[in-house]
Structure 1
Amino acid sequence: YKRIGIQHWSTCLIFFPFSLRMPSEILLKIFSYLDAVSLLCTGCVSRRFYQLANDNFIWIRIYSAAFSSKRSNWKVSSVEETAASVSLLSVEDKEVGYWKKEYIKKQISSVKSVLAHILKPVNPYTGLPVKTKEALRISGLGWAIILKEKSGKEHMMQHVDLSLNDASITVAWYGRNWPHLSTLSTLDLCGVTPVFMDRYKPPVPNGPRWLSLIAKYDLSHLSKSTMIGCDRLVRIFCLNPGLLVGLWQEDGLAFVIANLHFHHLVERSTFGSATFPYVLPPHSPFVDDNPEYGLQGYQLHIDMHGGGIFYLCSTFHNLFSRKGYIENGYVKFMAINLKNNREHLPLIGKVGLAWRTDIFDGFIESCSVVDVTLLDEHRKPFWCMSSPVCMRSAVFMGHTYYIDYMDIEGGVHAELVWIEETEEYFIVNLVLYLSVAKINHWFG
């Protein structure tokens, strides 16, 4: 095969009927010329190929060439000589496929190590890694959703579209082959990372990848209470954290959109497993005897956007609260005061959420995505979130509207007024709520 110029196993599949009759020894010799990606693909052809492609002698050569210690006085002329230096007992005593598993584990560990190094530098103003976008590009990271039926059957879909915002990424899935909504039970959101990373080359299409579970959602929660908007074609539902599900008016799935904040984005998308999400490193509390500690010195950055259009991008410094400003377990911080006209902020453009599929597109008024990045007084990320929200009309208040978001760590309340003369919204009140439990844990 090598002599006639066949370099990739996908070409060898042309000769598949002929290769079925080949002796195992000849196939093993052919397989020994393949690289790791081609060998893994070969193992998917048939049960016999899978067993042969797990051969420990082949994989220990690949492993040794990739990960053997490099010493100045150790000269190796070929992959075969490298493998020969390893004791035969280390090959023969291991179960079939052992060195393949070890190679893949080491590759994944190597990718994670490179990403951790890239993400080390932190922007002192935003508190977020400086090179998040570079890490996304180099790793070839993508995202997938796994739709699980009540019968146990699974449907995996790779993302179709994505867009980068100032502090978050918006990932979309759409198509024509959705399973019927009534048969589905849950949706898993996962990061998908190529096992083999080369910062100078794009990842191999359909190459081996691993999954990192980010969040799991219950699709039975698509009810009136989670619906945040609609137009003549679709209704949209918000599931926390940050998932938007669009249904056609006749109840079929139209699209799914995930909004992911940059804070620990790469770690959550790569460092977890297919069944367990990434666990954040333990936080060491900042211990201080000042009774006002944890109630002052916060910096809030807030964005509002929808489908690539930005309506608000603003930063608030030195937010503080008082001990008496506690409601239902949350401390209240005022960013924009209703009584201070100089603090009121306009929104740019007509607020709405643009959506698209391969058939239709549309615009749902009064809906958008809010990104919150809150830093403590040491400029460390304290609370970060990205979520769809809806601007609702205040009852009996004419042109007054409000936006509310709340989770176990914090919340945002905004009041807006529509100005007829200039045809724009003004935020006249913006309140941040932080969990007392989180503050106590964070500051000891």
Structure 2
Amino acid sequence: MAAGRGQFFLSLIQGLQQARPGGLRDRKKKPARADLPVPRPPPQPHPPPPCPPPSQPSTVSMPPVFNNRENHIERLPPEIILKIFSYLDADSLLCVTFVNRQFYKLANDNAIWYELYAHEIERKRWRPRLTVLPESLAGVQDMPPGFWKRLTFREMGCPKDTSWKKELRHINPYTGMPAQTQQLLGSLRVSWEITLIQKGGQESVYKQNHNFFSDSSVTVCWKSGMWPRIQQVSTLQLHGVIRPFTSTTTDKPQWRSLISKIHVCRTEKWQFVGTDKLVKLLQFDEGIIVGIWRGTWTIAFIMANLHFHKLVERSLLGSLSCPYRPPEVTMYDDVDPDYDPQGYTVLIVLHNSVRRIMHRRYTRLLCSRDGVRDGFARLRLTSEHTPVLGRISFPWMAEGGLQGDIKNCCMMTVTVLDESQRPLWCLSSAGSLLLSTYNNEQFVLLHSDAKGRVRMRFVWMQDMQQYFLIGLHVCISVTKLNNDSDDVLVQN
């Protein structure tokens, strides 16, 4: 027990001596006990790496560069390249021929161009023409190189190609207009676009939403888009647009032919033709009708009534800034201004954007010398009562499903043919019925310009709930009677 007490005091003395400064420093430390934790020294920060000397630039590791200029497309078998080319349209296939010699040879393969040619023929099946096609693929390859390629582009044609002019030679004896105008416009994929140029220079293009073909005109409607106020518009342009034949993309350039250009900022050209609770109708000189919202004067929709006379040429042969004008014909005849016009034909159609209201045709019209007044030859067509089918109205539709129907307002298409059944005066415009009596029974529809005048008288039969045409007079300028039909300017 004494030994244990002595060992305790000895350990105490050694601990006191180690706590003193300089005490027992030269002695060897005893190993710590296994059951006591040994304190770890605090971590020392690593010194920063030494900077390289300025004389030695630092090197950056770059990925290895492989000088491999091998073209993997050329390693493809010709069959694979032909399979890829078979999915291209005619425009893209023509561009591929300018890449290299191999693509030029493969892109002129008769089998590919035969498929494009057959597709083009199938699209134009309405045309009364016989086409001889080979019965087997062997017959396709037997043709000389580039044979089907030339036929394909010949069928597709370009806007100024004269191949489609042959279709316009077939004249409808009833209307005096080309018989296949509607089919030809559809075959050439002709559509119409409106371009609004604001006073600040901003241009907005609107594509057509609906069209209605009547006997001698087509009514085109535009209703979709962000429309500006009518006071902000400076110029309105109507273009005929040719869409690509075999391509479904819309980013490719399209042929645009200017049909009419109107300066909307000139308010003296505005003519109000009708109104209802929502919109007002404004008509301009070129037969373009603009519907504006009441109160805000924002454009709601635009309609255009286009006459069939030279419509295909005007939609194709114009340019972006210049409309099509027929070639001038030298006149060799010497016609007396007091010559009695006889044998003329007048075709009048009343319609709107969805249906035909009235259609009348008058032939062998005569005019005496007494009928020429103030430079106009008067043709009295009828004084009989002619019934009118349905109500005379102007239906409209705007974006968002808003629609309405303006009463006593419609579109009028007039065609005057000369003795040889050639167009002499063509008119397409809108008009409204005006009260001519105080009993709300008789109405009159008027149109007057430098080329001619039209006056139609209607009576409303209350018991039958129907309009009747009781009078129709057409006056043509004597100067216009002496001009050739090729110089006729269509008044849309």
The TM-score bracket by the shorter chain reads 0.7 to 0.9
1:147 is matched by which residue type in structure 2?
L
Q: Distance in 1 between matches of 2:229 and 2:108?
A: 45
Task: Tell me by how many angstroms 1:330 deviates.
Answer: 1.7
Q: Distance in 2 between matches of 1:236 and 1:252?
A: 12
Task: Tell me by how many angstroms 1:107 deviates.
Answer: 6.7
Q: Distance in 2 between matches of 1:154 and 1:26?
A: 46
Residue aligning to 2:426: 384
| Change in CA separation of 1:286 and 1:298 when aligned onto 2, cut-off 3 Å | farther
| Change in CA separation of 1:110 and 1:150 when aligned onto 2, cut-off 3 Å | closer
Asked whether 1:204 is paired with 2:245, we answer no
Aligned counterpart for 2:417 among listed residues 375, 396, 399 = 375
Residue aligning to 1:322: 368
Coordinate RMSD, CA, aligned: 4.0
Trace 1:235-384 onto structure 2 (pairs within 5 A): 235-249=280-294, 250-283=296-329, 287=333, 295-337=341-383, 343-359=384-400, 360-384=402-426
Q: Distance in 1 between matches of 2:73 and 2:372?
A: 72
Trace 1:152-163 onto structure 2 (pairs within 5 A): 152-163=201-212
Residue aligning to 1:177: 226
| Change in CA separation of 1:221 and 1:118 when aligned onto 2, cut-off 3 Å | same
| Change in CA separation of 1:37 and 1:346 when aligned onto 2, cut-off 3 Å | same
Q: Distance in 2 between matches of 1:233 and 1:26?
A: 65
Task: Judge conservation of contact 1:112–1:271 (CA < 8 Å) in 2.
Answer: no
Aligned counterpart for 1:394 among listed residues 423, 436, 439 = 436
Task: Tell me by how many angstroms 1:289 deviates.
Answer: 7.0
| Change in CA separation of 1:57 and 1:184 when aligned onto 2, cut-off 3 Å | farther
Find the residue that maps to 2:348 and give its secondary structure: strand
Q: Distance in 1 between matches of 2:202 and 2:287?
A: 25
Task: Tell me by how many angstroms 1:239 deviates.
Answer: 0.9
| Structure of larger gyration radius | 2
Task: Tell me by how many angstroms 1:287 deviates.
Answer: 3.8
Task: Tell me by how many angstroms 1:400 deviates.
Answer: 2.0
1:354 is matched by which residue type in structure 2?
P
Q: Distance in 1 between matches of 2:352 and 2:368?
A: 34
2:348 is matched by which residue type in structure 1?
I
Q: Distance in 1 between matches of 2:334 and 2:274?
A: 45
| Change in CA separation of 1:134 and 1:419 when aligned onto 2, cut-off 3 Å | same
Cα deviation digits, residues 153-201 of structure 1 (max 9, x gap): 211111111111121111000124113433210110111013547xxxx
| Change in CA separation of 1:56 and 1:185 when aligned onto 2, cut-off 3 Å | farther
2:394 is matched by which residue type in structure 1?
L
2:421 is matched by which residue type in structure 1?
R
Q: Distance in 1 between matches of 2:329 and 2:284?
A: 27
Asked whether 1:436 is paired with 2:481, we answer no
Q: Distance in 2 between matches of 1:383 and 1:417?
A: 27
| Change in CA separation of 1:287 and 1:60 when aligned onto 2, cut-off 3 Å | farther
Q: Distance in 2 between matches of 1:54 and 1:370?
A: 52
Find the residue that maps to 1:441 and give its secondary structure: coil
| Change in CA separation of 1:77 and 1:440 when aligned onto 2, cut-off 3 Å | closer
1:114 is matched by which residue type in structure 2?
S
Find the residue that maps to 1:297 and give its secondary structure: strand
Task: Tell me by how many angstroms 1:243 deviates.
Answer: 0.8
Q: Distance in 1 between matches of 2:269 and 2:335?
A: 47
TM-score (norm 1): 0.73
- Structure 1, unpaired ranges of 5+: 1-22, 41-51, 67-73, 83-103, 198-202, 338-342
Q: How many residue pairs align between the two structures?
A: 377
Find the residue that maps to 2:369 and give its secondary structure: coil
Asked whether 1:115 is paired with 2:156, we answer no
Residue aligning to 1:405: 447
2:282 is matched by which residue type in structure 1?
F
Q: Distance in 2 between matches of 1:60 and 1:256?
A: 48
| Change in CA separation of 1:274 and 1:347 when aligned onto 2, cut-off 3 Å | same
TM-score (norm 2): 0.66
2:482 is matched by which residue type in structure 1?
N
- Structure 2, unpaired ranges of 5+: 1-68, 114-141, 488-492
Which stretch of structure 1 is more off in the superposition, 219-228 or 127-136? 219-228
Aligned counterpart for 2:243 among listed residues 183, 191, 194 = 194
Cα deviation digits, residues 189-225 of structure 1 (max 9, x gap): 111013547xxxxx63424420011111121245695
| Change in CA separation of 1:152 and 1:39 when aligned onto 2, cut-off 3 Å | farther
Q: Distance in 1 between matches of 2:98 and 2:146?
A: 19
Residue aligning to 1:234: 279
1:353 is matched by which residue type in structure 2?
F
